Amino acid sequence: MYAEPAAPQRSVAAPRSGDGYWRRLLPLLLLLACLTRVPSFAHPLWNPDEGYLAVQARILAHGGELYETVVDRKPPLVPWLYQGAFALAGSDSLLPVRLLAVLAHLVTAALLASLARRRWGNAAGRTAGVLYLLISVGLNPEDAQAAGFEVFILPCTAAAVWCADRRRWAAAGLAVGCAFLTKQTGGAVLLPVLWLSGPSWAGLLRIGAGAVLPVLAAALLTDPSGFLFWTVTGSGAYASFTGSELHVLARALANSALLTGACAGLLTPLARGLRNRPGDCADLWLWTGSSAAAVITGFHFFGHYYLQLTPPLALLATAALRGLPTPQRTRALATTALCTALFLTWGLLAPRPELTHAQRLAEAITRHTSPHDRVLLWGMHPETYWLSDRTPATRYLTAGFLTNYSGGRDGPNVGERYAMKHAWRTFHRELATQAPRLIVDDSRGKPYAPDRIRPLRRLLEGYEEVAVVGGAVLYARAASR
């Protein structure tokens, strides 16, 4: 027989409305959200995901079509968000989307504070909001400070659990759908939402309808077959890590260690809570487990994947801290704040060699082309298109779609025969229609270098070398072409 899930614990004294709680807490959370994101404003770009989204947004703004003129293995919500921000504030800076990222963190912190306050009282609400903002920077700065997909997943997942906790099933389903439309792994929050709904057919139907409607709308607004391929069925090779096991394992261990270090002050309370009251907070443990499954999905373990773990971890830590004596609780919070300060210092002081390379390469591209020339960048850093303000010659903004290198592999299962289905046929058709004025080989010895990719070698026969920038080679179309 199906067992009714245990109801989440509630505080004995329910929080009162109209007591000025949020008027005091929200400014504190806003200040902390801004302080913990100061490094994000220190550089024009943090990682290739930001560059990819910026290029997509520019193409869409000039009449491009998602999943046709420009493609990615992601749902459309964040590209549309970038497009909207650029429409309002211009596309020469990522400042508007960085501000949206701060807002996303603030909303997430406020929702977590509301969840914790409802369950355990006012002090727990403050603790949950603050803890989330502190530990969410506990990764490599290029993962924690970037305005990437996972940042915008977080308010959606927190909203899904918040709505389910209040038995607002349709709204919870809508939030699940929005999380999926931000990135596929955002749909993992459906598990704790279903747990909270229990065996209620009416609740399940409302959740299902709420989740399906925004996804269906997005498919119809783009192209249903393209949406299905690029978000679900077309990523089989990308999700395999065969031949790169040690490479992937090292990345998984490194990023796990970073987040563990950020939570160092909370580990003992969390372990004690799991040991002494394993049945408490079952929905939060399920949320943590489903988020961990989202991190594992695809077997790539990039640092920004781990951001999905931070909201449920903040709530679990809040629950664990409640029963501690004040000195221990203060020590745990102080240790967490110290770890946050170390990560922020890292973000402010660490050099960004790949950004420097991309900026130098973009300057060289602008010298060898005019604003209306098309450029083919053979590499994994699409931000160079954005920095140089040049139009890509193909819908494939990285070499990964044509070689399967985009998963961060170290060599195996990379090459022409591992490309996405029909990618090379489409690529040749695009270049035959309008050949690029400049081809930039930015492979720098990686497994997808031209000497290993026969179609690219053939393409370069009609071009001549004109410059070398930090190992990247620029080829201009020969005069006879």
Question: What does the pLDDT look like over 169-193, one tens digit per residue?
Answer: 999 999 999 999 999 999 999 999 9
Residue (of 316, 374, 405, 376) closest to 127 by Cα position: 316
What tokens does 284 get?
A: 């939060």
Mean pLDDT of the chain: 92
| pLDDT digits 0-9 by tens, 32-62 | 999 999 999 999 999 999 999 999 999 999 9
Q: What is the pLDDT of residue 279?
A: 60
Does the structure show a pLDDT above 60 at 481? no
Does the structure show a pLDDT above 90 at 429? yes
Residue (of 404, 400, 480, 412) closest to 442 by Cα position: 400
Cα torsion angle, 101, 102, 105, 110, sign? negative
Kindly give, in sequence order, each residue whose CB lies less than 8 Å from that of residue 391, ignoring residues fewer than 6 positions away: 59, 372, 373, 374, 375, 385
Does the structure show a pLDDT above 90 at 118? yes
Q: What is the pLDDT of residue 360?
A: 98
- Residue 127 burial (C-beta neighbours within 10 Å; 0-12, 13-18, 19+): buried
Cα torsion angle, 380, 383, 386, 388, sign? negative
Q: What is the pLDDT of residue 469?
A: 97
Residue 452 gets which letter from DSSP? G
Q: Confidence class of residue 473 from pLDDT cuts 50, 70 and 90?
A: very high
Average pLDDT over residues 335-362: 96
- Residue 169 burial (C-beta neighbours within 10 Å; 0-12, 13-18, 19+): buried
Helices assigned H by DSSP within 136-239 = 141-144, 149-165, 169-182, 190-197, 201-221, 224-228
Task: State the DSSP H helix or E strand holding residue 95, giving kind and residue range, or none if neither.
Answer: helix 95-120
State pTM to two decimals. 0.94
Does the structure show a pLDDT above 50 at 379? yes
Give CA–CA dist 262/332, Å, rounded: 11
Give CA–CA dist 259/261, Å, rounded: 5
389 Ramachandran zone, left/alpha/beta (phi>0; psi -120 to 50): left
